[in-house]
Structures are given as structure tokens and as C-alpha cells.
Amino acid sequence: MAHDVDPFGRTPANQPPPLTGHNTVDGDAALLSAIRAQGGAAAGRIIDSLQELGQRAGSAEAREHGMLANRHEPVLRPVDRYGARLDEVDFHPSWHWMMRQGIGFGLAGAPWVSADPLPHLRRAAAYIAWSAIEPGHGCPMTMTYAAVPALRADPRLADQLTPGLASTTYDFGLRPLAHKRGLLAGMGMTEKQGGSDVRTNVTVALPGADGSYRLTGHKWFTSAPMNDLFLVLAQAPGGLTCFVVPRVLPDGTRNGLHIVRLKDKLGNRSNASSELEFVDTFASRLGDEGAGVRTIIEMVAATRLDCVLGSASLMRRSVAEAVWHAQHRSAFGGVLADKPAMRNVLADLAVESEAGAALGLRLARAADAPDDPGERALRRIGLPLAKFWVCKRTPAHVAEALEVLGGNGYVEESGLPLLFRESPLNSVWEGSGNVNALDVLRVLQRQPEGVDAWRDEVEAAGSADLHDGVVEVLKTIANLADPQSAEYVARWLAARMAVLLQASLLIRQSPQEVADAFLVSRVLGQHAGVFGTLPAGLDTAAIVRRAAPYRE
């Protein structure tokens, strides 16, 4: 309950204590349910392995480092005192603390070389439990994780770079790749003139006699420019091609990669997002000339998974903060969380958040079965539809959670303003809503095994409540012959398919009160479109209790 007050106001009345000292794994019932559902016999081992991470993520120390890294923004040093190019970025010590922890917990490329059971599922759960302490530092870890499968297009480069990318050692600083104990990777796809239409890229790659290439051009968005290497797209003689660009050459000299500026962006302030210019930049070709999109698509798929996980993490943190506040705040004669209107809001937020985490972990489980055709097909269709839906639900979710805290949630010290500013990011990164909806459409039209995998997963719940929705989706898919009308309904299809998939997962792995609330509101339509409009008759009190962060 709220603190008592002394006559002099030295202990504020009716103010919740900070949400610290809890375990973001053990204290998250929804996350534990998802791990157990997807992990099977390995679930206990996965949960045990995440205890230290969860305890540290819920600590006051982690909360403070996240705040400091955003208060003290990275600083670009383009040249030294004599005017020689440096192209370096300085970060606050709190940034390095968070990176050291996250990489040490295996959130970069470690799953690709792990012998543990279900390493991608473990990482996904860890990402949800950890990244919301400060979402900016998740970006370089995500890109590093995602670079490893793309590098397999060239076994020589993969053998050379994967050990460093999979390292659990954070080794900051620009040095030759061979001299570092751990590597971080970035990605450069979009350019000023084209954005998501990467086939219009104008960066030129000229081949040399030794098999290397030289790049001339730019990249409009390249986060984490202090990373050790980047996968980029450029126009080679044979067409759009993927390249690996190191920051430092083997002899120790700097590659011709200039940081034009750091972006003044919405969202976190801790991560350095930049514009880059390539000036006679050394690059190694990855994959065949002309196969750039096909080569880098594995990196895109893995980053899309982290977009879903990152959004789920923001929602898990937001609902935890909201429930914690409402359970420790009194208003109008009683505890805020017990008020019917507030209980409806909190339960609605909890159900949305649990559905997002469930879908993210299900897709991570599919990544652990790359040789299973059904799991491959589910991952192929599930990633763009989950990216479309979960990431779009996050801004409204975080805004409503912030509103629960009222004025307290509107000040930076609460942590909610950072989460709110960050909440639209994942819907933009790795393809906006339309790009992902059209990708779903592409699967529906060209890969019928994707439709089969989706239907099988939804119908695995054995729920009659999902039947009409499945029939409606399949009828719509059967009428996609006209390209214009197909594109017009692409967003509806992506949204509806994602909701039905989430419903199936909640029916199978969550308590009945959670599944019932999701079904009646999201699937059967008894919802007014804003949070806090769940219909009567649901056990919202039990849903709120489940969403409360547990602290010993």
C-alpha cells in the first residue's frame, strides 16, 4: 500500500514506491507461461538460466543506468584536433554497462553457436525480460544477432566472423576485427532517395583485381556506427548486392566510412543513429552480385523477430508499471486497482501484453527448428504479420499505461515517457506497416505452405470460437486474384491473422480468464477499440493479479 505521511511531509503520502528489486523473469507470470508452453522439457532449464538476468533487470541499478544513458547522449567526434578524420562516437559509462550486461547474457549472436536446447527461445525470453530497462542498447545487439545467418551466404566470411559476433564479451573500440574479443554488427540498407524501396539504391560498388570492392555513396539510417562491421547494399556491375564493410582494416587503418551526423530522433537518446558516407570504402561481397535482397533477407527476418520481442518487452514493462502504481495508490476512497473502471483498463492492457509476448516466443521457437518445413513456413508468414500487428498495438498500449500513472507518468523520472517515445520505433524499423502487410500478401499468393502452417497453428487450439475467423480469412485469401484489391485488404488480413494466432496461443497456454478476455474482445468483437472496454462478466480481478510484478 501507499506510504504513510508524517506531519512535515518528509514521507510523501499516497505515492507508490519505485518498481525495483523484483525479478523480471520470475515476477512475470505471462512470460513464464510462454516459456513453459514453448520450451517443453527444456523450460525449467531455460527459466533457471535467466534468473540472474531477471534479478539484474529489475534492480535499481539497471533502472538508473537506463536513465543516465538517455540523459547523457552519445557525442560524435568527426575529426581530431588537427582535422584528421576520427568518425568516433563517445558514450556515457551507463551505455557500456548495459551493453556489457546484455551481451554477457547472450543477447547478441550467442544462440547461433550454442549447444543448449532451444537457444533462440531462451534469448527471446531474455530479450523481453531485459531490453525494456533501456530499449536503445537493444539495437546493436539485435543487428549482431541478425547478421550471423546472413553471413552464411559466404562460408569463408561466416567462419571468420561468427565467433566474434557470437561472443559474450563486450569489447568496445575501433580495432582490427582479428584483434577483438567480441564483435558487433550493423546494417545499412535505406538511402535518401528510396527508403524501403532499396532497389533504387544509388551507392556504387566497383570490383577490384583482388576480389574486394570499393563503395561510393551513402546510407540514410545506420544505427550504432561504432559497431565493428556492417552489412550494406550497393549497386555492383551485376545489380544490387550485399557487402560486408569493416570499420577498421586488417592493417589497423580506418576504412573510408564517414559519419555525417547523428540523428536527432524520436525515441531513445542513448543509441547513436547516424548517416554514413562511403568514400572509396573497402568491402567484401556477401553472396552473388545481383542477389543483395535475397542475401540480406535473413538478417531482415531476424531483426523483425526482435521488433516483435522489443515491442512485447515495452508492453510488459508498461503494464507492470501501471499495475504496480494502481495497486499502491489510493483514490476516491479506495485502492486505485480495485476501482471497476481502472481494473478494466489494467486487465485489457495485461491481455494485450500477454498476447504479444506469447506470439513473439512462439516465433522464436520456430527459429529453433530450421529444418522443420512446417516451422519454417510458420516463421515465414508469422514474422511479418506479428511485426505488423504487435508493433502497431504498442504505442496505444504504452500511452494508456502512462495515463494510469497520470501526471506521475508524464515526468521522465517514471520511465514511461522514454517507453512512449520508443513505442512507434519497431513499427517503422525493418519495414513499416504497409511493407510488412504486403510481405504477408506475398506469402499468401506465392507460398501456400505458409497459409497451411498458419491455419494448423490456429486450429491447434481446437476452439470453435476461432472457426468463423479462420473461414473468413481463407475466403478472403481465395479472392486475391486482382492485385489492386488484394493490396487494399493486406493490412486487414495481417491484423486478423495475427489476432487469431494470438488467440490460439492464449487458449493453449494461458489461464482461462486471460484467453476468455482476449477471445470476447479481440476475436468476437465485443470491444470499443480503446483499452478499458472489456465486456462485463470477465474475471478482470484475476487478470490484474496475474499481471502484477512480484517482488519479495
CA distances from 204 to 274, 277, 281, 296, 297 (A): 20, 12, 10, 17, 20
pTM beyond 0.85 = yes
pLDDT at residue 4, as a whole number: 52
Q: How many Å apart are CA 332 and CA 335, to the nearest integer?
A: 8
197 Cβ partners below 8 Å, 6+ apart?
Answer: none
Question: What's residue 551's pLDDT?
Answer: 60
Rounded distance between C-alpha atoms, residue 301 and residue 443, angstroms: 14
Chain center to CA of 267: 14
Q: Can you list the domains of the chain with their CATH numbers? A: 42-289 (2.40.110.20), 294-547 (1.20.140.10)
Contact 144, 165 (CB under 8 A): yes
Per-residue pLDDT of the chain (552 residues; tens, 9 = 90+): 444 555 565 678 899 999 999 999 999 999 999 999 999 999 999 999 999 999 999 999 999 999 999 999 999 999 999 999 999 999 999 999 999 999 999 999 999 999 999 999 999 999 999 999 999 999 999 999 999 999 999 999 999 999 999 999 999 999 999 999 999 999 999 999 878 888 899 999 999 999 999 999 999 999 899 999 999 999 999 999 999 999 999 999 999 999 999 999 999 999 999 999 999 999 999 999 999 999 999 999 999 999 999 999 999 999 999 999 999 999 999 999 999 999 999 999 999 999 999 999 999 999 999 999 999 999 999 999 999 999 999 999 999 999 999 999 999 999 999 999 999 999 999 899 999 999 999 999 999 999 999 999 999 999 999 999 999 999 999 999 888 899 999 999 999 999 999 999 999 999 999 999 999 999 999 899 999 999 999 999 999 999 999 765
- CB burial of residue 32 (10 Å; 0-12, 13-18, 19+): middle
The pLDDT of residue 8 is 62
Distance of CA 383 to the CA centre of its chain: 11
Please tell me the predicted confidence (pLDDT) of residue 81: 94
pLDDT at 327: 97
